[in-house]
A and B are shown apart, each in its own frame.
Chain A
Amino acid sequence: MSVMGLFFIFIASVVVLWLAREGVMSANWLEEGEAVGVAKRSGRVELPSPLPAAKVGLAVFLGVALCVFSLLTAAYFMRMDTPDWQNPPLPRILWLNTAFLVASSVALQWASFAAAHDDATRLRVLLKIAAATSGCFLLGQLWAWRDLIAEGYYAASNAANAFFYLLTAVHGLHLLGGLVALARTIDKAWRPVERAALQTSVELCAIYWHFLLVVWLAMFAMLAGEMNGFGALCRRVLS
């Protein structure tokens, strides 16, 4: 559960920064009048620049998703410390899948630039590439499951195998949800919509994909046994 400690420290710092930005320290309840912003020491009233609600919503959701993945990591580290634990050999297709996911993330970032420069043709191509590579990633993950099952590494035969299926499934479901949002964005890109709205949608997709890429890289390293030392350290701190 030390992983959760790290997670909390991260969330707490974000919350503290946010509350400070929103002026939780100013004594507005004592003031009368339209205190529209946060009074700075200079006496100037400043407004926190407004963010689109959808962006804040995504940030909060990423916090929740990060919590889910941190808990799974914590569970992984706690469970691996038993004599029956045996890591399955990782299917080599995972490297290819990783490449697909990286490509997808890069394409979306590029698409976000294209949207900012109002380059509609390039944007459409890049969005399609991102969707296609993400699809390839998901198919590749299914292929990896098939490989493991073919070699007899069933979920029921060892908890390490079960964790492999569980983690990839949860990650894949998050990506699948992202694909729904991406499909809606692609739909927007072909219709005459307000430019700012389209730009926000593409940007949000890009952020979400980067998040899922980072999560995948961490999980890949963990499943490959690269983080065993970290796990042991976590267990030593709390047990």
Chain B
Amino acid sequence: MTDATMGDATVAEEHGVPPAEVPELDLYHAHTWLGKYVFSQDAKYIAIQYAGTAIAVGLLGLVMSWVIRLQLAFPGAFSWLDANFYYQAVTMHGMIMVVYLLTAVLLGGFGNYLIPLMVGARDMVFPFVNMLSYWVFLLAVLVLLASYFVPGGPTGAGWTLYPPQAIMTGTPGHDGGIILMLISLGLFIVGFTMGGLNYVVTVLQARTRGMTLMRMPLTVWGIFAAAVLALLAFPGLLVAAIMMLFDRLLGTSFFMPALVEFGEQRNTVGGSPILFQHLFWFFGHPEVYIVALPAFGIVSDIIATHARKNIFGYRMMVWAIIAIGVLSLIVWGHHMYVSGMNPWFGFFFAVTTLAIAVPTALKVYNWVLTLWRADIHFTTPMLFALGFLVTFVNGGLTGLYLGNVIVDVPLSGTMFVVAHFHMVMGVAPILVILGAIYHWYPKMTGRMMDERLGKIHFWVTFLGAYAVFFPMHYLGVQGVPRRFYELGDLSWLPPSAAALNVFITVAALTVGAAQAIFFFNVFWSLRHGKPSGPNPWRSTTLEWQTAETPPGHGNFGPKLPIVYRWAYAYSVPGAPEDFLPQNAPPLKGEHAT
């Protein structure tokens, strides 16, 4: 111990700092099998439950995308695939992927697993509420799935559920499906709010000694900012869902204007569908960043670890995360350019939308500069992180087109938009999730995943996703409309458009099926993977420094770690190894405060 740290300890004592050794006094211990393995209150266990459920329902979303693609490539070839089923597939695919898969995996899964471990806490601050969060989420998923079994099937209103068509006769699932969808969304939001409170308060209150805000790994920053954003954005969807439920069940006219339905005057008057769009997109746009910010954080940590170099511009990265979060709350109007609004409105939203490019580009530059002359290890997680980088830039660039009102208006109804948002918030976050699973799997199980299978999985997924979504840009510019069940004979479309659709479908089926490699790898490695040891990637953050792998209940054994430095001490000159864990005491002679 140097004098400097001694001095630190004295200062700490004077100000009534709690001792660093926190006994396990107030940690909940389950005594029954059920309490340990089913109704567990351990964040790590809840994380795996969350991620498992989300990925399982995500597979249904994947199958739904196959249904969509089969119809687009071979219209009319399948008798079971009628227009109703097609629209139901489109709706369920969108809703499952955005809300029940991406949000749940990134926040419920990685948030739960990584926040307590990375900030040096024993668990989340409210473990019981955390457990409740998962069970309410599971209930939401079950209600969603139940809509397949009610008369009329699930709703086919599109994932945006725009009124008035969402609740009118003629839309598939207008009787039972839409009600279950709205209830399921309400439950999801209630469950998420419980989890979100935990993520935010744990980051604010349960950081271990020395883990100041500006020493937190960027993963924690990303998940934290996304959780705050989600807590502010999901109420928009909640309010919209409740009001639409009123419209559907009580016959109110919040969103329902005076309408003639099947020749009969409906009993509603004066309602505003635009009001719904405001509420929906008030949630809908931040949702993109609720998914993207954790991905940004995770990618930063994966890149720094596997390139053995400190992240370039740590403070800028933190501020960029905050700036993106703030800006994303005031751009929702860019989803409504075609709803007929005041031109100044469009101007305002175009400006804020394009302004987001500044902090985002900053992050991309910093990632690239981190890679510059670094000791890059092309491990599977790193490949996925690099894949994300490229994909995110591609998707972001088309965002600049669509952010402009004048370009958006003609492109809005075409496949170009589908290509854009799939690149930026579909493929990009999924690549990060897969990379993160390869990265943290050794910590969760104590075994490595197979590298060769991992690389095959990466290349098929990465190239396959490009084969699917790159041609869609071209189709969009050609004027292929989105949302259509059948194209029919559109005079402006060359016959090659149909051929391209077949190509995309073949690619989509292949990429989807290739995920079997991943699942095989996950389950096979559980037993047969190479033992990983506690820190296979030689990483600096606290989760790799736990006494046991996988970490036991309470995470850190008898003593909580004390943090002495930031999370990016890679290749520090003079250090015995090329990384210095956050909790390693300062080296002799090293500068200390």
Contact = CB atoms under 8 A, between A and B. Distances in A.
B566 A28 contact: yes
B19 to A, nearest CB: 12
B197 A166 contact: no
A119 B564 CA distance: 45
Interface in A30-60: 30-39, 45-47, 50-51, 53-54, 56-57, 60
B593 A35 contact: yes
A162 B282 contact: no
A24 B239 CA distance: 33
Contact of A8 (B11, B12, B329): B329
B254 interface: yes
A11 B232 contact: yes
Interface string A128-148: 000000000000000000000
A196 interface: no
Interface residues of B, number: 69
B126 interface: yes
Contact of B562 (A18, A34, A85): A34
Interface stretch (A61-69, A92-100, A211-219, A222-230): A61-69
A37 B15 CA distance: 10
B269 A78 contact: no
Nearest to A67: B235
B593 A1 contact: no
Given A23-B213, A28-B212, A68 B235 contact: yes
A58 to B, nearest CB: 9
Interface in B166-205: 193, 196-197, 200-201, 204-205
A82 interface: yes
A33 B15 contact: no
A13 interface: no
B394 interface: no
Contacts of B210: 33-36
B379 interface: no
B403 to A, nearest CB: 19
Given A27-B214, A28-B212, A71-B236, A47 B5 contact: no
Contact of B197 (A22, A57, A238): A57
Interface in B263-301: 267, 269-272, 275, 278-279, 282
A38 B90 CA distance: 51
A133 to B, nearest CB: 27
Nearest to A46: B15
Contacts of B238: 68
A238 B563 CA distance: 48
Given A22-B213, A24-B213, A34 B246 contact: no
Interface stretch (B67-75, B143-151, B406-414, B584-592): B584-592
A170 B565 CA distance: 47
Contacts of A60: 197, 200-201, 231
Contact of A155 (B196, B246, B592): B246
A33 B252 contact: no
B215 interface: yes
B490 interface: no
B250 interface: yes
Contacts of A8: 329-330
A239 to B, nearest CB: 6
Contact of A166 (B242, B272, B563): B242
B253 A159 contact: yes
Interface in B200-232: 200-201, 204-206, 209-210, 212-215, 228, 231-232
A239 B342 contact: yes
B559 interface: no
B517 interface: no
Contacts of A155: 246, 250-252
B499 interface: no
Given A28-B214, A34-B5, 4 more contacts: A19-B213, A32-B590, A37-B17, A47-B15
13 contacts: A12-B326, A23-B212, A32-B565, A32-B592, A35-B8, A36-B12, A56-B201, A60-B200, A67-B232, A84-B253, A155-B246, A155-B252, A156-B251
Interface of A: 1, 4, 8, 11-12, 15, 18-19, 22-24, 26-39, 45-47, 50-51, 53-54, 56-57, 60-61, 63-64, 67-68, 71-72, 74-75, 78-79, 82-85, 155-156, 159, 162, 166, 170, 238-239
